[in-house]
Amino acid sequence: MPPFGASNARFLVVGLAPGMHGANRTGRPFTGDHAGILLYQMLHKYGFATHDHSEAADDDLELVDCRITNAVKCLPPDNKPVGDEINTCNNFLANELRTLPRDSVVLALGGIAHRAIVKALGMRQTEYRFSHAAVHDAEYFQLLDSYHCSRYNTNTRRLTEPMFDAIFAQARELLDNCKRE
């Protein structure tokens, strides 16, 4: 599944993998998946999307200076990506990260996405540990971590709406602060 959004966007959201009956069916990341409900609400609230809901790949929703991709592009068995899939797809992710404009912000949704990004950059996992709301300096972008907005995480309140809202406020601030003249 191709990423959604312009390739020169400064805000890149990296999810885990397309949901079996959602994004995998609709062809757009986080579309038709429970996890997409809160994600698109927040993207809209913080000015990264023209609507607060993503219906289908051919609706008129547009992302604004934002792009969404997944660490794993292939549909994982039982929705749990295994090492092989993460490795195969890591090349796609590395390309995606290499072509980011300067002063971008990358939001990793969950530990697997975070580790896939660190691996794609050839950085050491021990020096860049996943931690909710942490900001890591990569060479030419900042990596912001969040718990994944999955149904499981929101149901168990590992990730609440105010927590996710705060992540987007943080992303917006990081982008505004490093904007070049």
The residues binding ligand URA (CB under 6 A) are 15-19, 22-23, 29-30, 33, 35, 70, 109
Smaller CB distance to ligand URA: residue 22 or 111?
22
Question: How far apart (Å, rounded) are the C-alpha atoms in residues 115 and 41?
Answer: 26
Name the residue number minimizing CB distance to ligand URA.
15
14 vs 118 by CB, closer to ligand URA: 14
How far apart, in Å, are the Cα atoms of 80 and each of 16, 53, 74, 76, 77?
9, 25, 11, 6, 6
Sheet holding 66-70, edge to edge: 4-5, 66-70, 11-15, 104-109, 141-146, 135-137
In the complex, the smallest distance separating the C-beta of residue 85 from ligand URA, rounded to whole angstroms, is 13
Min dist CB 89 to ligand URA, Å, is 12
Closest CB to ligand URA among 62 and 173? 62
Nearer to ligand URA, 5 or 15 (CB): 15
Residue 104 CA, chain-centre distance (Å), reads 13
What are 50's two structure tokens? Answer: 């023209």
Q: How far is the CB of 69 from ligand URA (least distance, A)?
A: 9
CB of 177 to ligand URA, least distance (A): 27
Report in angstroms how near the CB of residue 151 gets to ligand URA at its nearest. 9
Which residue's entry shows tokens 């404009």?
101
Query: For residue 87, what are its two tokens?
Result: 């490795």
Q: Which is nearer to ligand URA, 31 or 170 (CB)?
A: 31
Paired tokens of 53: 């809901």
